[in-house]
């Protein structure tokens, strides 16, 4: 089978296409014929490591955490999926050498494999994983918010999504709207504003506008209930200006810097909660709950992808995985997909 591997950290040139036999699934494992692989920033960051040439945990690694395909074989004890099922994958490559989705067949733990509802496409399935589960977690961390998303779960709540044109921001807008929230988002300019509107945000603002805090307060006079934050270092002052008493700020990335300064007294007086979100360490229970709700949203048609839905798709074939990684690393807007095999 055709597989992409890297044997050292570095730029996209370390990715190589090789041929090797497909592995058999062991107990509790599933083998999936990958149709579409999704590329996320976490994939190129893992490939680069902290420095070129950094030692890897394994002799070689197959990249990419997300994907969608068809179950090809199952190991003993697997009951959540069966041969022939259409599925989507999450955390495929996490702490595993050869389970990434940049290959024709991937063997991974059954708990990382989820049925893909029949209305959903493989493109949708490959666009879920890291972005959708991260967004779900961010939307369910408030102390007086829902522990699970479903229609009406966020009714009466106002959610501010920073960077609504990004993949996580896009999923957060869609899931929040599906759950009944009023969604405000901030973007850099008109092109991204159009994408955020297409995703479903009712209020789209430019974060460089000097009056952005005032504009948010006009929409939410008592403050927003929850902020899904991509750039805490840049946005900490704005977040404080618009969060309500006992509001929550869910931070899932460090765009704009690794350190931020907070006014302790002002946050103290508002009982503000900061919740940091990293998908890899949230625990399997959270991932399973998220996947179940995401599938409900898929069935309801709430998670479309493509330019018309606010998430342009950029496609490559497996041999051009390095180009796909380079495009994501460049900060392209939209979702980068790799066509691995035919349906």
How far apart, in whole angstroms, are the C-alpha atoms of residue 299 and residue 16? 37
Specify the pTM: 0.96
pLDDT at 253 over 90: yes
Mean pLDDT of the residues in the chain: 96
Give me the number of domains the chain comprises: 2
Instruction: Write down the H helix ranges in the chain.
Output: 41-48, 122-126, 129-138, 167-178, 190-199, 212-219, 232-242, 264-270, 284-299, 321-329
Q: Which residues are within 8 A (CB) of 148 and not within 5 positions of it... i.e. 6 or more apart?
A: 140, 289, 293
Q: Is residue 285 in a domain?
A: no
CA-to-CA separations, 307 to 25, 58, 174, 334, 336, in angstroms, rounded: 37, 38, 14, 8, 12
CATH number of 176's domain: 3.90.180.10
Are 108 and 145 in the same domain?
A: no
Are 181 and 86 in the same domain?
A: no
Are 82 and 169 in the same domain?
A: no
pLDDT tens digits, one per residue of 141-192: 998 999 999 999 999 999 999 999 999 999 999 999 999 999 999 999 999 9
> Would you state the pLDDT for residue 343?
76
Confidence of residue 30 (pLDDT cuts 50, 70, 90): very high
pLDDT tens digits, one per residue of 254-301: 998 899 999 999 999 999 999 999 999 999 999 999 999 999 999 999
How far apart, in whole angstroms, are the C-alpha atoms of residue 276 and residue 212? 24
pLDDT at 326 over 90: yes
pLDDT at 38 over 80: yes
Q: Is residue 76 in a domain?
A: yes
């Amino acid at each position: 089978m055709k597989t992409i591997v890297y044997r050292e950290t570095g730029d996209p040139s370390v990715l190589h296409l090789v041929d090797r036999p497909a592995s058999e699934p062991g107990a509790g494992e599933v083998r999936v014929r990958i149709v579409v692989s999704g590329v996320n920033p976490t994939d190129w960051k893992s490939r680069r490591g902290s420095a070129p040439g950094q030692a890897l945990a394994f002799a070689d690694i197959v990249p990419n955490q997300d994907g969608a395909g068809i179950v090809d074989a199952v190991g003993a004890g697997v009951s959540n999926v069966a041969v022939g099922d259409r599925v989507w994958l999450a955390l495929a490559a996490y702490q595993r050498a050869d389970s990434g989705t940049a290959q024709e067949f991937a063997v991974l733990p059954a708990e990382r494999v989820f049925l893909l509802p029949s209305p959903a496409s493989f493109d949708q399935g490959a666009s879920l994983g890291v972005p959708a589960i991260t967004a779900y977690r961010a939307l369910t961390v408030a102390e007086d918010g829902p522990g699970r998303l479903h229609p009406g779960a966020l009714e009466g709540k106002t959610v501010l999504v920073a960077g609504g044109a990004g993949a996580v921001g896009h999923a957060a807008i869609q899931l929040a709207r599906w759950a009944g929230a009023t969604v405000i988002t901030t973007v850099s300019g008109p092109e991204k504003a159009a994408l955020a509107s297409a995703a479903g945000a009712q209020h789209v603002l430019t974060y460089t506008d000097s009056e952005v805090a005032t504009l948010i307060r006009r929409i939410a006079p008592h403050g927003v209930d929850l902020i899904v934050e991509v750039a805490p270092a840049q946005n900490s002052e704005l977040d404080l200006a618009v969060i309500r008493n006992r509001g929550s700020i869910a931070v899932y990335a460090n765009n704009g810097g690794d350190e931020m300064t907070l006014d302790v007294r002002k946050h103290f007086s508002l009982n503000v909660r900061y919740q940091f979100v990293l998908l890899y360490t949230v625990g399997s229970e959270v991932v399973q709950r998220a996947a179940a709700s995401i599938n409900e949203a898929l069935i309801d048609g709430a998670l479309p992808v493509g330019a018309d839905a606010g998430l342009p798709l950029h496609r490559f074939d497996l041999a051009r995985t390095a180009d796909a990684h380079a495009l994501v690393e460049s900060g392209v807007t939209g979702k980068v997909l790799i066509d691995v095999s035919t349906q």
